[in-house]
């Protein structure tokens, strides 16, 4: 009787712990969500925690003469978040997460709509590259597109 009770307890604990562990895809999504939650809350530390120290940010700039790529330092992005006025609301709404993983490297394709103070500003797609480091998944690269239309719902 004692053995069956112990076995039941052990199996319950084993499967219970597995039920609470997140898959790599869920962990990657959680890092991205946390970064945008930090942006909405103007929590610079939370935003910075999502990035690897050597991370890069770029954006595709569409011009009549052709597309160009603009670069931003992550430190500058974090500083802009920290110095955003209290009355300014930044809300990037991710519409979908398409995540691919190969070992310790992940790619996430995330269409979005961006709202400034509750008003639609622009839409586009973020392409995130993440690496699983000793402390967990970290963003090492982001490139995005920005446009007024057409936009996904």
Q: What would the DSSP string read from start to end of 85-101? A: -TT--EEEEE---EEEE
> Helix H segments across 21-124?
24-41, 44-49, 74-82
Torsion of CA 142, 147, 149, 153, to 10 degrees: 30
Q: Is residue 6 part of a domain?
A: no
Predicted structure pTM score: 0.84
**Which tens digit of pLDDT belongs to each residue from 96-150?**
999 999 999 999 999 999 999 999 999 999 999 999 999 999 999 999 999 999 8
Q: Is residue 149 part of a domain?
A: no
Q: What's the domain range around 66?
A: 22-144
Amino acid 109: pLDDT: 99
Q: Is residue 131 part of a domain?
A: yes
* Half-sphere exposure at residue 105, Cβ-oriented, CA atoms within 13 angstroms: 3
Buried b (16+ CB within 10 A) or exposed e, 89-122: ebbbeeeebebebeeeebebebbbbbeeeeeeeb
Q: Is residue 49 part of a domain?
A: yes
Q: Is residue 120 part of a domain?
A: yes
Tokens of 81: 């978040």
Q: pLDDT band at 92, cuts 50/70/90?
A: very high
Q: Is residue 15 part of a domain?
A: no
How many domains does the chain contain in total?
1
Q: Is residue 12 part of a domain?
A: no
Q: Is residue 32 part of a domain?
A: yes
**Which tens digit of pLDDT belongs to each residue from 46-83?**
999 999 999 999 999 998 999 999 999 999 999 999 99
CATH number, domain containing residue 65: 3.10.450.50
Amino acid 152: pLDDT: 79
């Amino acid at each position: 009787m004692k053995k069956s009770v112990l076995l039941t307890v052990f199996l319950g604990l084993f499967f219970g712990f597995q039920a609470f562990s997140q898959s790599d895809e869920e962990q990657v999504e959680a890092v991205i969500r946390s970064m945008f939650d930090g942006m909405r809350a103007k929590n610079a530390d939370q935003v910075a925690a999502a990035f690897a120290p050597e991370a890069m940010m770029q954006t595709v700039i569409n011009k009549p003469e052709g597309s160009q790529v603009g670069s931003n330092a992550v430190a500058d992005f974090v500083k802009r978040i920290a110095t955003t006025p209290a009355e300014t609301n930044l809300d990037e709404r991710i519409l979908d997460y398409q995540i691919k993983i190969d070992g310790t490297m992940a790619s996430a394709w995330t269409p979005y709509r961006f709202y400034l103070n509750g008003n639609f500003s622009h839409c586009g797609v973020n392409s995130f590259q993440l690496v699983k480091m000793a402390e967990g998944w970290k963003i090492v690269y982001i490139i995005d597109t920005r446009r007024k239309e057409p936009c996904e719902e």
